[in-house]
């Protein structure tokens, strides 16, 4: 759903991308710095209960995911390695965000239930991405579902930010429950998508 805004934000940040290229900064370096920034924002501030600051830091670095791809395209350095690095580091950043919430609820958030729920969202987010990657490695596709990565990321950051502004942790609880259900449904949807393709063409895929 949110992918349609990618073009708009890419245009907004394109001057920064051009400046970085003129300075000799590579797209891979931007990818790495962005992941480090997201991880630091989540794992340093969330566990201390500084939710709004954490969200602001994370948001500032999340946009590197748009900048690095644009830099690679206009500089002619797009490669399979860059795509692999970007996807791999995305998983680390996503895990850090939900891991930070796990630590928050284990500490100042004081909720064992929500700690477990945040951990479940972390795991299911990884499974959602794995399902698509595994399908593509077998010559099939499993893109789609009601909770793709961009949707999950925006939802948890917006609600966590509001929770920090208004001191309403219940907003995080609401979004975690919603994401837990949506991620589970998305995994099931992707499994069904792959199953239909496999049944339609038995020659697809291979040994597990």
Domains, the chain: 2-200 (1.20.120.1760)
Q: What is the pLDDT of residues 152-176, one digit of tens each?
A: 999 999 999 999 999 999 999 999 9
Please list, in sequence order, all residues whose beta carbon lies within 8 angstroms of the beta carbon of residue 49, skipping any fewer than 6 positions away: 104, 107, 108, 109
**Which amino acids are annotated catalytic?**
90
User: Can you give the pTM of this predicted structure?
Assistant: 0.91
User: What pLDDT sits at residue 11?
Assistant: 80
At residue 150 the predicted structure's pLDDT band, cuts being 50, 70 and 90, is: confident
User: What pLDDT sits at residue 3?
Assistant: 54
Please list, in sequence order, all residues whose beta carbon lies within 8 angstroms of the beta carbon of residue 197, skipping any fewer than 6 positions away: 135, 140, 141, 204
What is the average pLDDT value for the chain, to the nearest integer? 91
User: What pLDDT sits at residue 66?
Assistant: 81
Model confidence at 1: pLDDT above 50: no
Query: Above pLDDT 70, what percent of the chain?
Result: 94
Q: What is the pLDDT of residues 3-56, one digit of tens each?
A: 555 677 778 888 999 999 999 999 999 999 999 999 999 999 999 999 999 999
User: What pLDDT sits at residue 2?
Assistant: 46
**Rounded distance between C-alpha atoms, residue 63 and residue 115, angstroms:** 27
């Amino acid at each position: 759903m949110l992918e349609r805004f990618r073009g708009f934000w890419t245009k907004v940040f394109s001057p920064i991308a051009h400046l970085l290229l003129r300075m000799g900064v590579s797209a891979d370096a931007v990818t790495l710095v962005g992941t480090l920034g997201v991880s630091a924002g989540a794992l340093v501030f969330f566990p201390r209960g500084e939710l709004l600051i954490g969200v602001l830091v994370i948001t500032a670095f999340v946009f590197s995911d748009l900048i690095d791809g644009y830099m690679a395209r206009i500089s002619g350095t797009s490669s399979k390695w860059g795509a692999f690095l970007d996807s791999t580091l995305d998983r680390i950043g996503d895990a850090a965000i939900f891991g930070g919430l796990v630590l928050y609820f284990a500490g100042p958030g004081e909720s064992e239930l929500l700690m477990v729920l945040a951990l479940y969202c972390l795991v299911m987010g990884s499974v959602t991405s794995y399902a698509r990657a595994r399908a593509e490695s077998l010559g099939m596709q499993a893109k789609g579902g009601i909770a793709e990565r961009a949707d999950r990321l925006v939802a948890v950051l917006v609600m966590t930010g509001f929770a920090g502004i208004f001191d309403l942790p219940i907003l995080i609880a609401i979004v975690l429950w919603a994401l837990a259900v949506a991620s589970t449904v998305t995994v099931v949807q992707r499994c069904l998508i792959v199953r239909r393709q496999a049944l339609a063409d038995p020659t697809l895929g291979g040994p597990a």
